[in-house]
Amino acid sequence: MQILLRIDQALLAQRGSLMPWIPVCLGLGIGWFFLLRSDPGIFALCLLALTLLVALPLTRCRDARAIVAWAILLIGLGFSAAQLRTSLVQAPVLSFRYYGPVEGRVIAMDRASSGAVRVTLDHVRLARVAPGKRPARVRLTLAAGSNSPAVGATVATTAHLMPPQGPSEPGGFDFRRYAWFNKIGANGYTRVPVVVLQPAQSGLYLHRFRYRLSQAVQRRLGPKTGGFAAAIIAGDRSGVAPEDLQALRASNLAHLLAISGLHMGLLTGFVFTVLRFSLCLIPSIALRLNIKKISAGAALAVGAIYLGISGASISTERAFIMVLVLFMAVLLDRRALSLRAVSVAATLVLLRRPDTLMSPGFQMSFAATTALVAVFGWIRTQQLAVGPAWLRPVLTVIVSSAVAGAATAPFGAAHFHVLSHYGLIGNVLAVPIMGLVVVPAAVLSLCLAPFGAEQIGVFFLQIGLEWILGVAAWVAAFPHAQSGVVMPGHWVLPLFTLGALVVLLWQGRLRWAGLGLIGFSIAVWGQANRPILLVSANGALVGVLTPQGRALSRANSQGYTAKSWLAADGTLVSHSEAAQRWTALSQDRDIWVFGRRIVHITGKRQAGEFVNCHAADLVIANTALAPEGSCQVLGPDHLRRSGSIKMARDGTLVTANELAGNRPWSRP
């Protein structure tokens, strides 16, 4: 009873500080839904409904039972929201490999990881495919040198299409889930030019305006800074040069390309500050009206316009919701920058798009925002001065960059398996220029464009963007600018997040227990073991872990898969270097793993020559073969059912589809 009494007292002591835990409970329910190996059956749903009905009356209690009941209800709400969202976005998915004519309307354009231009089509038409089985959207990588069609145009080409592919390794990023929630039913490529059947005429007005704006910006600023400017103004990243993108990533400045809370905050903050200061200079307005609320309303309207012209991507929508909550707090005479405001924004985002909980964008943006609000709130509460007054702006930028970098680094390392060592230097030198030069210059250019005087803003915009790209290239050239990070286990990031939330949100000395969870998760991460053997989903690539690192069976095949494996190993070596290890190893002796000889067969010629095998052989092939002997063969039919395969440290084979389970996005 003493334990229950202490728990009751600890929970009651949190009254008044429980609002930030609302999105945490919603996230627990959403995470529970996505961790299931199969869809919840009728029995599970009835049990959930019964639990919620039992918890509902307890919310009126005056003790800790009410807090526990509300937590249960919110977890159930998160689970139900994820279930509803999964059903609402259901759309046909291509169930076979397709080669033939493809027709559709261009609704989006970006770049693939290889740097090639990629378009997304809707209103898709495929030869010999019934309307009810056509994918709602198709994503196509265009041939090198192809002219990019205008957004809104109806185009046709001959393309190779395939269903969205599963994880490159069991337990890795599942593109099928991402495609499901974006209604992408097929992806592929074309090696022939795209023919425009009908130019953009009606519909997609906003999309076409964005495309014309992007093209105008790139023509005015030139190819180098124009692509960067189009990315931050119109959300079009197709014009960013691959070398600039790599430099931005290496210097931890790639977040400046994605329109997120930083861009939306800088823009609306600039509009709010300038308008409020300007209205203060007009006594007849300043003395009669609440110019703070007028400025907040105007800034909110500008943010809504920016949401539209930048493409309304998930990250931009999330940023706008955060800005909306902030300025609504100003309009309602509430404190704008508080953990309550952050929790409202997170709650709205999770209820609207529950699947974003699993995305690195959501995790990193709210990690940075929560940490910044908590740290600067503590500084304000303790009445600490961040350095002398004349140096305070610079120190504030350094502190905020350090806090945001520390908060997002674990999530970035877990998802992208790389750590930028000099990101603080890059952000301190680049982010102030983004806020003081680039954003004001972009606003000035857009305001003066109708009068033909936009060159004033364009001049400063180009200077600011050239500075940022120069900083990125300079920092990326530092020795050992990046290092690889091993992919953590499934429970590492949730444990780390829970520990960080306890430290930031819990009131009282118990909050420091969160440091134990953080330390434990990092210790588990440090002991992460990579699979000894990896097999790609089509059998075209095999990777064996050696004392020197991962050895890959082929040098010019499955580039994305190879890059994913090597990154998850925590190594920065290239595909060709890893293939050289295989060549050296196979010339010296046969490749053995746990007492089994690994044989990789590619192409019909090798398959025809391979006729005999032994019981100890594990044969992986990307084409059908039937050798004589009692070896185990992982051929196309087997891999089609299993997906990618890994060999665990105990020698057992684990398949991607086994871990993914029977979910709507993972069903054949």
pTM of this structure = 0.87
Share of the chain above pLDDT 70, in %: 95
Task: Report if residue 358 sits inside a domain.
Answer: yes
Q: What does the DSSP 8-state code read for residue 489?
A: P
Task: Report if residue 241 sits inside a domain.
Answer: no
For the chain, how many residues are written? 668
Domain endpoint, select from 56, 88, 120: 88
pLDDT at 8: 66
Together in a domain, 521 and 549? no
- Contact between 158 and 101 under an 8 Å Cβ cutoff? The reply is yes
Together in a domain, 506 and 539? no
- Contact between 273 and 279 under an 8 Å Cβ cutoff? The reply is no
Domain endpoint, select from 32, 67, 88: 88
Hey, is 620 helix, strand or coil? strand
Q: Which of 2-11, 541-550, 582-591 has the lowest mean pLDDT?
A: 2-11
Which of 70, 83, 90, 87 is CA-nearest to residue 351?
83
Work out the average pLDDT over 14-38: 89
Q: Where are the alpha helices (DSSP H) in 417-512?
A: 423-433, 439-448, 455-476, 492-505
Give the tokens for residue 298.
């105007």
Q: How confident is the model at residue 202 (pLDDT cuts 50, 70, 90)?
A: low
Beta bridge partners of 621: 601
pLDDT tens, 163-187?
999 899 998 899 999 999 999 999 9
Task: Report if residue 667 sits inside a domain.
Answer: no
pLDDT tens, 416-450?
888 888 888 888 888 888 888 888 888 888 887 77
Q: For residue 580, what are the domain limits?
A: 533-660
At 198, the amino acid letter reads Q
Contacts of 319 (CB under 8 A, 6+ apart): 259, 260, 261, 263, 264, 265, 365
Together in a domain, 465 and 515? no
Together in a domain, 579 and 551? yes
- Contact between 68 and 7 under an 8 Å Cβ cutoff? The reply is no
Q: How far apart are CA 665 and CA 178, in angstroms?
A: 9
Looking at per-residue pLDDT, the higher value among 337 and 549 belongs to 549
What is the H or E stretch that residue 382 is in? none
Beta bridge partners of 154: 105, 198
Together in a domain, 584 and 607? yes
Task: Report if residue 214 sits inside a domain.
Answer: no
Together in a domain, 521 and 502? yes
Task: Report if residue 636 sits inside a domain.
Answer: yes
Which residue has tokens 């609000």?
Answer: 373
Together in a domain, 507 and 474? no
Measure CA 34 to chain center: 16
Task: Report if residue 224 sits inside a domain.
Answer: no
CB atoms within 10 A of CB 220: 17
Domain endpoint, select from 88, 114, 136: 88
- Contact between 423 and 482 under an 8 Å Cβ cutoff? The reply is no
Together in a domain, 345 and 441? yes
pLDDT tens, 611-620?
888 888 889 9
Task: Report if residue 238 sits inside a domain.
Answer: no
Together in a domain, 615 and 502? no
pLDDT tens, 275-297?
998 889 888 888 888 898 899 89
What is the H or E stretch that residue 232 is in? helix 223-234
Give the tokens for residue 78.
């998160």
Together in a domain, 327 and 380? yes
Work out the average pLDDT over 592-609: 85
Q: How far apart are CA 205 and CA 203, in angstroms?
A: 5
For the chain, the average pLDDT equals 85
pLDDT at 589: 60
Q: How far apart are CA 417 and CA 396, in angstroms?
A: 29
Together in a domain, 81 and 114? no
pLDDT tens, 392-413?
777 777 788 788 888 888 888 8
Q: What does the DSSP 8-state code read for residue 169?
A: S
pLDDT at 515: 92
Together in a domain, 370 and 406? yes
Looking at per-residue pLDDT, the higher value among 310 and 527 belongs to 527
Task: Report if residue 227 sits inside a domain.
Answer: no
Q: How far apart are CA 269 and CA 263, in angstroms?
A: 10
Burial of 477 (0-12, 13-18, 19+ CB in 10 A): exposed
pLDDT at 249: 83
Q: Which of 42-46, 58-62, 104-108 has the lowest mean pLDDT?
A: 58-62
**What's the structural domain count of the chain?**
5
- Domain harbouring 164, CATH code: 2.40.50
- Contact between 646 and 535 under an 8 Å Cβ cutoff? The reply is yes
